[in-house]
Copies of this chain bind each other. A is one copy, B any other.
């Protein structure tokens, strides 16, 4: 490996807990835990995510911007950059996975990106115009497609921390993407559950959950025929939501534009109701 592609981290397997842990090096002196934003909270005047300060961020990886406009210049609607302190990074690393090895370690291969959700510093997701909200959700789809093409990546997580206590350190609206060379334990659990359910019943477990929620009705929060949102039956946190497509679909990145438009409406509705009910709560 070349010096410029030096490892920023490694992944170690916890054989007891059957889970991979990212051991970061560059990030270790940061005040926040893995998954949090760029640095400590910065004010609007110094925000690197605002339009006109594109040179202050890592270079643009992807963007929704006017045709023929230059990368890293103003005019964009949605912008994707590498996280300034990436937990994982794409490299020429070569490795081979053991059979859930005892004390196994592999290179910290992967991607850690930030999606800047519009040039406006103060608007939260619910206040965005619907067409910009749609652009954000379709950028999620595009990034998922890109990472799925890299066969060394096994899973891509998109997450958003809203509010300082939920771990957001830059207030400018943004979300993050982590693509990993292993499947996280929580996802392996879901795969095991849904595969077992399918093997036993020949039916999709998520579809059966949607069906049961619709039949019972009492936990349904939103249902426009395309997108269904309901309070999680076994919620671990107050106001925990489960959002699913009404029609069977395994991959978010295979959903069509119509479904994403419905998802925009759903998110604006349920997040708006949460904000009214709870006075702008932090969320993930």
Chain B residues closer than 8 Å to A185, beta-carbon distance: 189
- Cβ contact within 8 Å between A193 and B103: no
- Cβ contact within 8 Å between B208 and A16: no
Chain A residues bordering chain B, tally (CB within 8 A): 35
Chain B residues closer than 8 Å to A234, beta-carbon distance: 12-14, 17, 19-21, 23
Main SS at interface, chain A: mixed
- Cβ contact within 8 Å between A17 and B193: yes
- Cβ contact within 8 Å between A21 and B235: yes
Chain B residues closer than 8 Å to A237, beta-carbon distance: 33
Q: Give bound CA distance, A16 to B212, whole Å.
A: 14
Q: Is A236 an interface residue (CB 8 A)?
A: yes
CB proximity to B under 8 Å, residues A221-277:
232-238
Which of the residues B14, B192, B208, B235 comes within 8 Å of A233, measured between beta carbons? B14
Shortest CB-to-CB span from A142 to chain B, Å, is 27
- Cβ contact within 8 Å between A194 and B16: yes
Q: Output the nearest chain B residue to A22 by Cβ-Cβ distance.
A: B236
Which of the residues B33, B102, B209, B238 comes within 8 Å of A208, measured between beta carbons? B102
- Cβ contact within 8 Å between A233 and B103: yes
Interface residues of chain A, those whose CB is within 8 Å of chain B, are 12-21, 23, 28, 33, 102-103, 185-186, 189-190, 192-194, 197, 205-206, 208-209, 212, 232-238
Shortest CB-to-CB span from A167 to chain B, Å, is 14
Shortest CB-to-CB span from A111 to chain B, Å, is 21
- Cβ contact within 8 Å between A18 and B193: yes
18 of the cross-chain contacts (CB-CB < 8 Å) are A12-B233, A13-B234, A14-B233, A14-B234, A15-B193, A16-B193, A16-B205, A17-B190, A17-B193, A18-B192, A19-B189, A19-B234, A20-B234, A21-B234, A33-B237, A102-B208, A102-B212, A103-B212
Interface centre among A190, A192, A234 (most CB of B within 10 A): A234
**Contacts A16-B194, A16-B209, A17-B234 supplied; 14 other A-B pairs, CB < 8 Å:** A12-B233, A14-B232, A14-B233, A15-B193, A16-B206, A17-B189, A17-B190, A19-B234, A21-B235, A28-B238, A33-B237, A102-B197, A102-B208, A103-B233
Q: Give bound CA distance, A243 to B20, whole Å.
A: 20
Chain B residues closer than 8 Å to A12, beta-carbon distance: 233-234
Chain B residues closer than 8 Å to A19, beta-carbon distance: 189, 234
Shortest CB-to-CB span from A118 to chain B, Å, is 33
